[in-house]
Structure 1
Amino acid sequence: MAKTRLKTIKVNNQSARFLEDCYKEYLEHCKSIGQRSATLTSKEKFYRYELLKRLKADDKISVINKKTVEGWINKLIDDGYKGGTYQTFVIKLKAFLTYCFTREYLEEFEVKIPNIILTKKEIYTEAELKKLLKRPDLNTCVAGDYRSYVTVLFLMATGCRSTTLLNIRVRDLDFNKESMLFAHMKTYRQVIAPMTTTLKVELQEYINIFNLQADDILFPKLDGTQMSYDTLHQNLVNYFKHCKVKMRGVNTFRNTFATMFIKNGGDIYRLKLLLNHSNIKTTERYVNLLPLEFKEDLLKYNPLETLQAKNKRSRVRLRK
């Protein structure tokens, strides 16, 4: 008589559990171990907009297996999604499946994060930025467009993430020291960022016009409540249409900030501080994906070209 492993019996008994129940339990677990609200929201959206496209809430958890997952990944690739999209999908799925494996809801199988060829990051051109940063006529423009204008200024002056932007309060701004406290960061660290003169002047006027108080969110909805990422994105989409510029994402401002910082002569170590990367390798990888064009600068500082230029000047003097 064949012997049956106890673990196999456990898994078979648990496999009758439904997807919805398992995912709710997974979210409760994530909350209990102190994951950030933004992370929990992201995982909720993954379930709603990704998993439920492929499975039903009342499907048994056992329908997920290695062949199922590979089929999902291949479908994303065949549909033309970029590598970052399907890689992120697998990362989030793997986190959920790992929870199911450890609770023996599923027989464990390998979930491999796909290798991808990273493409260059998009940026906004100087011509587009000129339109976006054109100061509106405060006597005629609507409140939403003015707020979006200042939002664009802030993103271009700081290169901060959208999550950081949406959680800044007026009290986090120190106009005397010309600095800003970024208390809500991806790395959990609080950061003091410099405030440019242009941004300082614009923010002071903006705060005065909207009559914002110290405890108020700096970029709230018009009713004063905190804005969600989706609302921020839609507001900027509307502003971009008004400026006749193609919207290519909120995070594209971060890419643009980094690109222009390097092009203007900034070095990667200072950029690391401004982008709040915990590791210089992240900044190096980030810069390598930016659409930088340094041909003229590289030739200008090339040792051979520099020496040759000096020799030419010497020869000219000798001939005289």
Structure 2
Amino acid sequence: MKRRGELTDDELRIIKKKISDDEVFEKFYKDCYLRNLRPATINYYKNEFHAAKLKLNKQLVECEQKDIEDLILQSKELMKVTTINTRLRALRAFYNFLYKNKIINKNPMKNIKLLRDRQKTIETLENQEIEKLFKTIRKQKTFVTFRDEVIVLVLLDTGVRLSELVGINVEDVRGNTIIIRRTKNLFERTVYLSEITEEQLKRYIKIRGQVDTNKLFISQDNKELNPHSVQTRLTKYGKEANINKRVSPHTFRHTMAKRMIVLGVDAFSLMHLLGHTDITITKRYVNLWGQDLEQKHKLHGALIGLKI
């Protein structure tokens, strides 16, 4: 009988040495470390892979497109679209790595697209709400409340992320600027302070004094500030001020973005101030608050005041 030519995919699987998930995870995480990805990013991958394995009940390295499709269908009944997409992004990075390094013959994520999700309204705080918030924080005259007041000023003035805020060292504050080192994309950037924030920050540093940690914002016990405690206290202030919106570092980030756009800051400048690596998100902000821009143009357009 004449021997056949090329082996089929099924035949290739028979002769190919099996490789376990543990082996490929080791290779994948080693690549992550070599690329100097943040520990939080690596932990995100680990958590998502573990959750996907539990759902699929099989080795990830053996999964095919149908398995990923089944995973999506199962997940849709239990999870939000954003959560599913977060998992799919992790799996895409994983399978792209395996395929690029010829560990698998077919990429099961090749034809899988992220699920479409409705764009949610981005909440921002209005002037009256911000004023109520400061009034609430200033009711008590303690180190913690004054620290929280300065934290809100910095968040609102600069739009920094919570992880960036708690990563600021005292020496990173230089007059009316702060060097942000612990960034999401690993690129340091400079943010700028208004006069009121600069003055209050100077007062805070003086009251803070010399402690064992060089972190700018510290706890009542002179320890490095926990990000969760910042979020908890901001939520508490928001409730006390009767603000019916989520009061969080990201709310201040969005508020800062909106106010900058309304005042005419261009998308590229805002992108750098916020530390975005892609202008897509910044452009979404511009589109969202287009009506505010339209009103601004009516008041300050280039032809206003010209007798032509």
Give, in whole Å, the separation in 1 of the partners of 2:158 and 2:128. Answer: 20
Change (3 A) 1:154 1:93: same
User: Contact 2:45/2:90 (CA < 8 Å) preserved in 1?
Assistant: yes
Give, in whole Å, the separation in 2 of the partners of 1:219 and 1:39. Answer: 24
User: Contact 2:262/2:296 (CA < 8 Å) preserved in 1?
Assistant: no
Give, in whole Å, the separation in 1 of the partners of 2:249 and 2:75. Answer: 23
The two structures have a TM-score, normalised by structure 2, of 0.76
Q: Residue type of the partner of 1:97? A: Y
Q: Which residue of 1 aligns with 2:97?
A: 99
Number of aligned positions between the proteins: 298
User: Contact 2:213/2:223 (CA < 8 Å) preserved in 1?
Assistant: no
Q: Which residue of 2 aligns with 1:155?
A: 155
SS of residue in 1 equivalent to 2:112:
coil
Give, in whole Å, the separation in 1 of the partners of 2:151 and 2:226. Answer: 14
Q: Residue type of the partner of 1:165? A: L
Higher alpha-carbon deviation: 208-217 or 161-170: 208-217
**Which structure carries more relative contact order (alpha carbon 8 Å, separation 6+)?**
1
User: Contact 2:156/2:252 (CA < 8 Å) preserved in 1?
Assistant: yes
- What residue ranges of structure 2 are gaps of 5+ in the alignment? none
Task: Quote how far apart the aligned CAs of 1:169 are.
Answer: 0.4
Q: Which residue of 2 aligns with 1:314?
A: none
Which whole-Å deviations, capped at 9, do the CAs of 1:120-159 have from their partners, x for residues lacking one? 42222333322222251453x572x443332221110101
Give, in whole Å, the separation in 2 of the partners of 1:270 and 1:219. Answer: 27
SS of residue in 2 equivalent to 1:244:
coil
Task: Quote how far apart the aligned CAs of 1:173 are.
Answer: 0.7
Q: Which residue of 1 aligns with 2:292?
A: 293
Q: Which residue of 1 aligns with 2:34?
A: 32
User: Contact 1:147/1:219 (CA < 8 Å) preserved in 2?
Assistant: yes
User: Contact 1:91/1:113 (CA < 8 Å) preserved in 2?
Assistant: no
Give, in whole Å, the separation in 1 of the partners of 2:220 and 2:24. Answer: 38
The two structures have a TM-score, normalised by structure 1, of 0.74
Matches within 5 A, 1:256-275: 256-275=255-274
Change (3 A) 1:114 1:220: same
Change (3 A) 1:269 1:94: closer
Q: Name the % identity.
A: 21
Matches within 5 A, 1:87-166: 87-101=85-99, 102=101, 104=103, 107-109=106-108, 110-114=110-114, 116=116, 118-134=119-135, 135-139=137-141, 141=142, 143=144, 145-166=145-166
Q: Which residue of 1 aligns with 2:70?
A: 71
Task: Quote how far apart the aligned CAs of 1:297 are.
Answer: 3.0
1:8 aligns with 2:10: no
Task: Quote how far apart the aligned CAs of 1:105 are.
Answer: 5.6
